[in-house]
Amino acid sequence: MKRQRLGRLVLLGQLLGFGLTGHAADSVTNACLKNPASCAILTGKEAAAPATKGAAEIASIAATLRLLPTDMKTRVERELVECAERADFRVNIRRFAGDQPSREQCQEVLPGWDPCGKKVTRAMQLGTEKHQLALQCIQERFNRLFPGRFSLEQRYRYDQQTRSTKLISREEARALRKQDCGEELKGTLVPDVVIHSGNPLEALAIYDFKFPCPSTNQPSWTKYPEGHPHYPENQGDMYQHALGAVAFRVAPNGGVH
């Protein structure tokens, strides 16, 4: 049994590019064998967080193992930036003959309303179109490069009181969106791209596409307004709180932030 647990631990370390061998593997494995809950975390099994003094240490070990290997990170981010640039170019060709929209064009309020009765600006319309193209691009590329290791627009519900996170299926989200324009979904988190271990709750890195309008604006995280469940945090902070991984912004002109 001990040998099997060690094997699973080393395999996980190799999968995440950690290369656990020698003293490092022995130290972590010994701690794991002394505490079954720790073993459960390190081997990816579900287990209730132990209400002991060792809980923080166990969580720290788990977080250390959940790292995106450098070579994989480089490839992921190169593909993300290329897809962002491609989406930005294609939409600007279609809407502005290849030019970048001006500040005045970005601020233009479009005629009509969205399905929930809110006004839509040109910047919002362009951002939606560019997001769709960028995500289609990533879907095609990551299906080939990292099958089963990423999620696109996965919705999460994070409880700040219990610090627990759960997945919301697309079917559940669609059903809730029909009720009061998705009021029940307020406060849920939908990062564009999550790279994970194979389980969307075990994030290794989080990425959000940002298409500033005009392009001279800096890509920034959305700040939650007063009265919102996540006020005064911003979007990136909440991604990191909920999923325990670093969140990055991807922009067509500025790369990865």
59-79 residue pLDDT tens: 444 454 567 889 999 999 999
Quick one: the chain helix, strand, coil %, rounded to 5? 50, 15, 40
> Does 92 share its domain with 178?
yes
Model confidence at 38: pLDDT above 70: no
pTM of the entire predicted model: 0.75
What is the pLDDT, as a whole number, of residue 66? 67
CA dist 132 and 122 (Å) reads: 16
Number of structural domains the chain divides into: 2
Q: Which of 65, 83, 113 is the last residue of a domain?
A: 65
Per-residue model confidence as pLDDT tens digits over 101-133: 999 999 999 998 787 888 999 999 999 999 999
pLDDT computed for residue 9 by the predictor: 41
- Top-confidence residue, 12 or 92: 92
What is the domain extent for residue 147? 70-256
Sheet holding 255-256, edge to edge: 150-152, 193-196, 203-209, 247-251, 255-256
Top mean-pLDDT range of 24-28, 65-69, 203-207:
203-207
* Residue 207 to residue 77: CA distance in whole angstroms: 9
Same structural domain for residues 160 and 230? yes
